[in-house]
Amino acid sequence: MASAHRKFWGWGTEDQTATPDERALITKALGARFQTALPTPVAPPKVEEIVLPASRLSTPANLKRIATTDPRERLIHAYGKSFPDSVRMFQRHVPHPPDVVVYPESDADIAAALDWASSAGAAVVPFGGGSSVVGGVECDVGGSYKGVITIDLARLDRVLEIDRQSRAARIQAGTYGPALEAQLKPHGLTLRHFPQSFEFSTLGGWIATRSGGHYATLYTHIDDFVQSLRVVTPAGTIETRRLPGSGAGPQPERLFLGSEGIFGIITEAWMRVQDAPKFRASATAKFADFFAGARAARALGQAGLYPSNCRLIDAAEAAGTGAGDGSAALLVLGFEGADHPLDAWMARALELVRDHGGNVEQPKAPSAHREGAAGAWRNAFLRAPYYREVMVPLGLIVDTFETAITWDKFEGFHTTITSRMQDVLKRVTGKPGSVTCRFTHVYPDGPAPYFTFQALGRFEALIDQWRTIKEAANDLVISAGGTITHHHAVGRDHRSGYVRECPQLFADALRAAKSRLDPQGLLNPGVLIDPTDRSVGIRGAMAPS
Amino acid sequence: MASAHRKFWGWGTEDQTATPDERALITKALGARFQTALPTPVAPPKVEEIVLPASRLSTPANLKRIATTDPRERLIHAYGKSFPDSVRMFQRHVPHPPDVVVYPESDADIAAALDWASSAGAAVVPFGGGSSVVGGVECDVGGSYKGVITIDLARLDRVLEIDRQSRAARIQAGTYGPALEAQLKPHGLTLRHFPQSFEFSTLGGWIATRSGGHYATLYTHIDDFVQSLRVVTPAGTIETRRLPGSGAGPQPERLFLGSEGIFGIITEAWMRVQDAPKFRASATAKFADFFAGARAARALGQAGLYPSNCRLIDAAEAAGTGAGDGSAALLVLGFEGADHPLDAWMARALELVRDHGGNVEQPKAPSAHREGAAGAWRNAFLRAPYYREVMVPLGLIVDTFETAITWDKFEGFHTTITSRMQDVLKRVTGKPGSVTCRFTHVYPDGPAPYFTFQALGRFEALIDQWRTIKEAANDLVISAGGTITHHHAVGRDHRSGYVRECPQLFADALRAAKSRLDPQGLLNPGVLIDPTDRSVGIRGAMAPS
């Protein structure tokens, strides 16, 4: 199986984890910070330690070749990669794994799996890299289904066609980030969509969740890179026309961008790709005040310069990753392109930064985004997913939530979220926690703030503690005017916010569309909208007691 | 009434028309070109010359204040501004005007009008500026309705709120282009969306039809300027959340962008606006070969420079507007912005132009886009809508169609369209006609070619002749891989292409959404998708016999 060595309790493959040095550092830092002795960490789970319910489905002959009920496979596909996902694995608590995992090798295989689900009364959970942090791929679908089939697209992993003139490529949906870039590279092309999950997420997953890439401005989500789509639904296959632009009715691709698998399974897409960049300019700047940095980011976002990187990191978060001493917010600024030197762009950007009180540290080398403060932060950003499996067994609650908000509301929003979240962390855990913020993306009309919180919980109570905090965060973000998610998707964990954000009649229109494309409601029940049940809760049925 | 002096047989108001000099020039040029004596032109119609069917609806008391059955009003709202619309007015042929025209002054008025339509069994046609060139506002809705109510949004014409920090404005949907800009100007802001129809089209119309503005790259359609929407549907009101970006499910605004009024009536939008530009750079270049110019446009579109103007005009079309001698294609290139001088941008763009064989004519003055070849072309572009009322009575068939196509297919596409359209013009009219092309917008993955055709028909037969040509154009564009419309919308005239372009299951999903938002199918029946009838034809029931 393609994902045989995938870690089921954390990020990456089983041979990848935090180094002993990183572990020692993390443990020491947490002990010092919370002024307490930390518990002896629970060891990572082994497959045989987790009791799984027997598979309820019997694979038909035509799918045996590509189906498995192997326990490790069921575990790998039971959860995504969120904090509570990791906690539940360390707690050995997996009551709702998929009954069967299918690895289709063609659209016909997917159609056959959907036919099987239809006749068996089983739900279907589409699975890309399984990197969801919002409960997007789990199989707790309620009692009205006779089983759950997870469809893992990992074998649909090829770049099928290249159109060099139009800079476009037809790519199968199960292609992982690195494999996608490796197949484009010989053509001098790159998609240049680098979410934090890049290594363990797929094109189809990016499209289904409106993933946010590394471009901080302009092409923030995957959306604008999608030229056309192919989607296999229970009612048949939809293929949109390859076009650079069109005004013919509502854009069909937009119904599937962010649809989280509820209408059908995206099997391939023509993607707009880029020439590999030849020119880079990067710089960092420090701001004594986070809001001054935000005003600089606003000026940069409104100037028509379109930096590829424009990440503002607050002082505490910068310090926490070794990119600062905690006295200043850090702005990481970059331009990249294949056509022309970017000096004029950077020069003007730095004028704007200085105009807003930024203290610019200009780098010397073209690889500067890998050095100095920016490099320290970048390294921490890439390593962070591996640290969770160190922190969870120590009882640390560590999670993030991300949003977007217009500039007029931003400062009040940030102040409210930060102080109210600190109250919640204290109330839930009895000790002060931390809430930090960075901008992942910057628009002319507002930033996408990304909050990280940490608090010391109790290992046995982590799920309940986390749920209380997460519900509070959802409520705060929506009450204060933000979006429930800028690029992590809705899944199950954001539904309490999504029902408040999404106009009811629009949700009804989506339900109506679903009733045509997936009339039995087989696909990913429980995420985004629920075709039958409008009640909402975060994994209400799933709390370990 | 707000549109009392609007011309019902052509473009603009009744006091605006081609000058005597322009008339003489046009008549002389056409006579010379077609080597024939032109007929004596029919005079423009007067209201009293057109026999209208009696209004079938009786306005309820609560709407009398804002409703009218005045014949001139019914005529103004009977058609859009396409070639066949003008022909039918000159032919005094208006069998299906609206029964009543309503001018709502609030969302409540719209809800009341929809309630009336519902109880009266009447269809509702939303009307912005009425500048549709695709049959988007006409009232030939078939026999299953007891009447037609046109809802003209002209009294919802205000900018309601400004958020200077986020550069956004809340604007009522009936606001015309000039009024919109006039209300933004005191704040130093501008929407900078300038379709050719700008003077006589509205924000709501732009959104409902995915209008294309003057920006040749990046923000080509109105789409990306829409921050949030308010839509009154027969099932209730939808208001989306004001956000700079979001990844929460399919983007709700996208269901209404391009919906052509079939789901509801857009009443207001928060729009992303711009600082008024302070910096401009412009240039023109000549190319001996149109395809060489296209390759330059491709390079410009792929360079990450984002010119505001990048219009390539073929030699014949440039010559026809006084912008060239017919020996060379013309590229009109421009940059604009509010933040920084654009010399570095233009310098690199001109390198690319020269690399592709362009002969650059650099301008002297900052107002150069209003001078020289670019100025001549710009002037003709703005005057062209007024020339139709001169040409139609002479029997000239003059129309346009616009599309988009990926670069890999472009050259073959252009060759096929041009030669096959010339065949069709000759076959239909017995004389050679002309087919010219320009790019209105340029994407990294392909251009938006805009074709203009002219042929000498017979005044009495113009509708039949036009319909044959238009159907041929629809078929050619779709067969050769383009989109049926880049920014004119689908309306009724493009439906034969739209049903081939739009995946059937996506059209079904739209129908399902409509069944929820407009369960009685009151809104704009016959455009885009038809909720009941899947057969297609261009105004099949409307041909004058």
CATH classification at residue A200 = 3.30.465.10
* 336-395 of A, contacting B, C-beta below 8 A: 337-340, 344-345, 348, 352
Instruction: Determine, yes or no, domain membership for B269.
Output: yes
Is the pLDDT assigned to residue A528 strictly greater than 70? Answer: yes
CB nearest to B505's CB, from A233, A303, A408: A233
Is the pLDDT assigned to residue A545 strictly greater than 60? Answer: no
CB nearest to B303's CB, from A340, A484, A509: A340
Q: Which residue of A has its CA nearest to B337?
A: A304
Q: Is there a contact between A248 and B259 if contact means CB atoms under 8 Å apart?
A: no
Domain boundary among A433, A452, A479: A479
pLDDT, residue B215, reads 96
Q: B122 with B45, same domain?
A: yes
Q: Is there a contact between A407 and B166 if contact means CB atoms under 8 Å apart?
A: yes
Single-letter amino acid, residue B170: R
CB nearest to B502's CB, from A252, A345, A506: A252
Is the pLDDT assigned to residue B369 strictly greater than 80? Answer: no
Instruction: Determine, yes or no, domain membership for A438.
Output: yes
- Residue B518: its chain A contacts at CB < 8 A? none
Q: B182 with B212, same domain?
A: yes
Task: Write out pLDDT tens, residues B85-94.
Answer: 999 999 999 9
CB nearest to B248's CB, from A163, A483, A517: A483
Is the pLDDT assigned to residue B280 strictly greater than 60? Answer: yes
* 162-221 of A, contacting B, C-beta below 8 A: 163, 165-168, 209-212, 218, 220-221
- Residue B252: its chain A contacts at CB < 8 A? 502-503, 506
**What is chain B's mean pLDDT, rounded?**
93
Q: Which residue of B has its CA nearest to A261?
A: B249
- A490-509 burial string, b = 16+ CB within 10 Å, else e? bbbbbbbbbbbbbbebbbbb
Which of the four pLDDT bands, split at 50, 70 and 90, describes residue B335?
Answer: very high
Q: Is there a contact between A501 and B238 if contact means CB atoms under 8 Å apart?
A: no
Cβ B310 vs Cβ B356: under 8 Å = no
Q: B191 with B130, same domain?
A: no
- Residue A446: its chain B contacts at CB < 8 A? 166, 243-245
Q: B143 with B166, same domain?
A: no
CB nearest to A486's CB, from B246, B406, B447: B246
Q: A320 with A270, same domain?
A: no
The answer to whether residue A161 neighbours chain B at the CB level (below 8 Å) is no
Q: Is there a contact between A167 and B487 if contact means CB atoms under 8 Å apart?
A: no
State the total domains in chain A.
2
Instruction: Determine, yes or no, domain membership for B456.
Output: no
Per-residue pLDDT, averaged over B285-302, amounts to 98
CB nearest to B258's CB, from A163, A250, A444: A250
Per-residue pLDDT, averaged over A106-129, amounts to 98
Reported pTM? 0.95
Q: A387 with A334, same domain?
A: yes
B334: closest CA of chain A, how far (Å): 15
- Residue A251: its chain B contacts at CB < 8 A? 223, 254, 257-258
Q: What is the ipTM of this complex?
A: 0.95
**Looking at chain A, how many residues does it have?**
545
Is the pLDDT assigned to residue B370 strictly greater than 90? Answer: no
Q: B30 with B121, same domain?
A: yes
What helix, strand, coil percent values describe chain A, rounded to 5? 35, 20, 45
User: Between A and B, how many CB-CB pairs are < 8 A?
Assistant: 301
CB nearest to B515's CB, from A163, A238, A512: A512
Which of the four pLDDT bands, split at 50, 70 and 90, describes residue B378?
Answer: confident
Is the pLDDT assigned to residue B281 strictly greater than 70? Answer: yes
Q: B250 with B212, same domain?
A: yes
Q: Is there a contact between B254 and A258 if contact means CB atoms under 8 Å apart?
A: no
Instruction: Determine, yes or no, domain membership for A170.
Output: yes
- Residue B406: its chain A contacts at CB < 8 A? 163, 165-166, 168, 227, 242-244
Instruction: Determine, yes or no, domain membership for B346.
Output: no
A505: closest CA of chain B, how far (Å): 6
DSSP count for chain A of H helices, then E strands: 15, 18
Q: Which domain holds residue A346?
A: 279-479
- Residue A340: its chain B contacts at CB < 8 A? 303-305, 348
User: Which of A291, A340, A477, A530 would you mutate first to test chain B, the one with the most B CBs within 10 A?
Assistant: A340
Residue A355 has phi, psi (to 5 degrees) of -55, -30
A211: closest CA of chain B, how far (Å): 7
Task: Write out pLDDT tens, residues A274-300.
Answer: 999 999 999 999 999 999 999 999 999
- Residue A267: its chain B contacts at CB < 8 A? none
- Residue B516: its chain A contacts at CB < 8 A? 505, 508-509, 511-512
Is the pLDDT assigned to residue B372 strictly greater than 90? Answer: no
Domain boundary among B257, B275, B293: B275
A70: closest CA of chain B, how far (Å): 33
Q: Is there a contact between B166 and A406 if contact means CB atoms under 8 Å apart?
A: yes
Alpha helices in A330-371 (DSSP H): 343-355
Q: Which residue of A has its CA nearest to B448?
A: A245
Q: Is there a contact between A506 and B302 if contact means CB atoms under 8 Å apart?
A: no
Grouping H, G, I as helix, E, B as strand and the rest as coil, residue B157 is coil
Q: Is there a contact between B512 and A516 if contact means CB atoms under 8 Å apart?
A: yes
Secondary structure (DSSP) of B412-453: HHHHHHHHHHHHHHHHHHSS--EEEEEEEEEETTEEEEEEEE
Q: Which of A96, A21, A111 is closest to A66 using CA atoms?
A: A111
Domain boundary among B152, B178, B202: B152
The answer to whether residue B533 neighbours chain A at the CB level (below 8 Å) is no
Which of the four pLDDT bands, split at 50, 70 and 90, describes residue A363?
Answer: low
Instruction: Determine, yes or no, domain membership for A378.
Output: yes
Q: Which residue of B has its CA nearest to A212?
A: B247
Instruction: Determine, yes or no, domain membership for A369.
Output: yes
Q: B170 with B59, same domain?
A: no
Task: Write out pLDDT tens, residues A214-232.
Answer: 999 999 999 999 999 999 9
Instruction: Determine, yes or no, domain membership for A264.
Output: yes
Cβ A398 vs Cβ A306: under 8 Å = no
- Residue B239: its chain A contacts at CB < 8 A? 503
Query: Which residues lie closer than 8 Å to B57 by C-beta, 6 or more apart?
Result: B99, B100, B120, B122, B146, B147, B149
Q: Is there a contact between B263 and A506 if contact means CB atoms under 8 Å apart?
A: no
A329: closest CA of chain B, how far (Å): 21
- Which DSSP letter does residue A6 get? B
* 49-78 of B, contacting A, C-beta below 8 A: none
- Residue B352: its chain A contacts at CB < 8 A? 339
Query: Which residues lie closer than 8 Å to A386 by C-beta, 6 or more apart?
Result: A10, A11, A12, A16, A17, A18, A22
CB nearest to A165's CB, from B220, B408, B505: B408
Which of the four pLDDT bands, split at 50, 70 and 90, describes residue B2?
Answer: very low
Grouping H, G, I as helix, E, B as strand and the rest as coil, residue A440 is strand
The angle, 0 to 180 degrees and rounded to 10, between the axes of the packed helices A290-302 and A343-355 is 140
Q: Find the radius of gyration of the CA atoms of chain A.
A: 23
A264: closest CA of chain B, how far (Å): 11
Q: Is there a contact between A245 and B348 if contact means CB atoms under 8 Å apart?
A: no
Per-residue pLDDT, averaged over A438-465, amounts to 97
Q: Which residue of B has its CA nearest to A226?
A: B445
Q: Which of B201, B206, B200 is closest to B14 using CA atoms?
A: B200
As a whole number of angstroms, the distance between CA B209 and CA B136 comes to 9
Q: What percent of chain B has pLDDT over 90?
A: 84
Q: Is there a contact between B503 and A240 if contact means CB atoms under 8 Å apart?
A: yes
Which of the four pLDDT bands, split at 50, 70 and 90, describes residue A367?
Answer: low
CB nearest to A485's CB, from B227, B247, B406: B247
- Residue B227: its chain A contacts at CB < 8 A? 406, 445
Higher-pLDDT residue of B23, B153: B153
Q: B28 with B123, same domain?
A: yes
Q: A270 with A283, same domain?
A: no
Which of the four pLDDT bands, split at 50, 70 and 90, describes residue A323?
Answer: confident
DSSP count for chain B of H helices, then E strands: 15, 18
Q: Is there a contact between B483 and A248 if contact means CB atoms under 8 Å apart?
A: yes
Q: Is there a contact between A483 and B251 if contact means CB atoms under 8 Å apart?
A: no
Is the pLDDT assigned to residue B543 strictly greater than 80? Answer: no
Single-letter amino acid, residue B97: P
* 466-525 of A, contacting B, C-beta below 8 A: 481-490, 494, 497-498, 501-503, 505-506, 508-513, 515-517
Q: Which two tokens stand for residue B519?
A: 């369960």
Q: B74 with B192, same domain?
A: no
Is the pLDDT assigned to residue B365 strictly greater than 80? Answer: no
